[in-house]
């Protein structure tokens, strides 16, 4: 059966009874008004919900999605001290250091470099003390040797053209890692240069980090 449009009964009412037509028209207007109000209320609720979600969303999220709590280590310490101390790193080998201490290290290595016709590259380095260690047979002997030195203890060696010395100046942890800070010195003739160095435990072994 086909439905009769609402406009047909309304037209008949207008012809037969003007008052009935007015009532029908008023009823239709009331329904339309209530429908409009309902739609406005729904839109208002949805809008409020969206605004609520925006309000509770933090303005800034931590970088990355690791879920790890932010680190709060001191921004400075005994040199050489990492620039990225408050980054989550897998190993102390992932630390980065300032250009100033990097320059000290480079100058120290250049100062210890001497010509050597029998050496690879034509150079030897007077600041390499490994060959003078008493425990040469130990695997990775130099870091193990430094680990065994006490705070403020020094050890010296003599090479062909220079005299070297290293001293444990501090035993401050760096971030979550157990470390020792060491000062290297190298003397050739009347000139002495030095630089800071860092040794830390990496898993099961002690290692030279810087």
Separation of alpha carbons 81 and 33, rounded Å: 72
Residues 131-181 have pLDDT tens digits of: 667 665 555 678 888 999 999 999 998 887 889 999 999 999 999 999 999
Q: Is residue 38 very low, low, confident or very high in pLDDT (cuts 50, 70, 90)?
A: very low
184 neighbors 194 (Cβ within 8 angstroms) = yes
What is the per-residue pLDDT across 113-123, written as a single tens digit (0 to 9) for each?
878 777 777 77
By three-state DSSP, how is residue 194 classified? Answer: strand
pLDDT at 158 (0 to 100): 87
Count the neighbouring beta carbons within 10 Å of the beta carbon of residue 112: 21
Query: CA 184, CA 186: separation in Å to the nearest integer?
Result: 7
What is the phi/psi pair of residue 181, to 5°?
Answer: -100, 130
pLDDT at 3 over 70: no
pLDDT at 10: 44
């Amino acid at each position: 059966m086909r439905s009769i449009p609402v406009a047909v009964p309304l037209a008949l009412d207008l012809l037969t009874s003007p008052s009935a037509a007015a009532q029908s028209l008023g009823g239709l207007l009331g329904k339309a008004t209530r429908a409009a109000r309902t739609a406005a209320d729904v839109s208002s609720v949805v809008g409020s919900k969206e605004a609520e979600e925006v309000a509770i969303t933090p303005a800034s999220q931590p970088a990355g999605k690791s879920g790890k709590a932010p680190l709060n280590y001191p921004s400075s310490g005994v040199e050489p001290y990492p620039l990225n101390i408050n980054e989550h790193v897998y190993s102390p080998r992932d630390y980065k250091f300032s250009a100033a201490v990097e320059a000290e290290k480079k100058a120290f290595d250049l100062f210890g470099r001497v010509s050597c016709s029998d050496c690879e590259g034509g150079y030897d380095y007077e600041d390499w003390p490994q060959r003078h260690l008493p425990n040469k047979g130990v695997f990775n002997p130099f870091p193990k040797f430094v680990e065994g030195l006490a705070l403020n203890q020094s050890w010296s060696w003599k090479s062909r053209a220079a005299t070297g010395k290293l001293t444990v100046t501090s035993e401050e942890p760096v971030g979550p890692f157990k470390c020792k800070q060491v000062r290297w010195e190298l003397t050739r003739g009347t000139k002495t240069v030095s630089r800071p160095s860092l040794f830390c435990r990496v898993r099961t072994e002690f290692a030279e980090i810087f």
